[in-house]
Amino acid sequence: MISRLPVRQTYFLSFLFIFSVNINEIQAQEVYLPGYVVTLKGDTLIGNVSDRKMGPFGGIFTKIKFKGNGRKKRYSADNIQSYRKGDSIYRSFNLDGEDRFLRLEVEGVVSLYKFELQEQGEGMVMDIAYLKKRDNPTLVRADQGLLGLKRNLLIQFFSDCPPLADKIRSKEFKFPYQVVNFYNEWKAR
């Protein structure tokens, strides 16, 4: 003979089952990768670095986490010069009055950096491109999202390279890395 559970117990058991199955998906995972931190004094600390949690409740940290030589420490962008996590290098810069970490994409006479932005609760990370000339401390925003390059600003920024200014003006280049690669190759001649 089959015994039937009361409706309340059935709902409760169903809820427990669903919750237990999805518990791993709900928890965000923190990923530490081999890397290093460069302090403001220029010392390099080698260890493991985490700068974000993965998953639906994850996100990019404002302070990175560092584990090395038996110590755990958090660093914000105003406490260190740079850090490396896995294959990615991040450097500290002041953006609009706030110290932030920017990911290095291309290094050269002019370097391309990306500021990673993630809305809370969103899984997608947006990148905002910035350019910096080696001999100039100023960062210049290179793109305006889906609207493409900030052409007028980049024409001024690269006024020392007329061929590049012409290519930007004629919309031959659509991405910041194209501009950076052309300029670095032109300067190397």
User: Does some domain include residue 37?
Assistant: yes
pLDDT digits (tens, 9 = 90+) for 93-115: 999 899 999 999 999 999 999 99
Answer whether residue 133 is part of any domain.
yes
Q: Which domain holds residue 72?
A: 33-188
pLDDT per residue as tens digits for the range 116-160: 987 665 667 789 999 999 989 899 999 987 678 999 999 999 999
> Structural domain tally of the chain?
1
- Answer yes or no: are the C-beta atoms of 140 and 128 closer than 8 Å: no
Q: Is residue 16 part of a domain?
A: no
Task: Give domain status of residue 3, yes or no.
Answer: no
In-domain check, residue 162: yes
What is the rounded distance in angstroms from the CA atom of residue 5 to the CA atom of residue 158?
A: 75
Lowest mean pLDDT among 18-27, 29-38, 63-72: 18-27
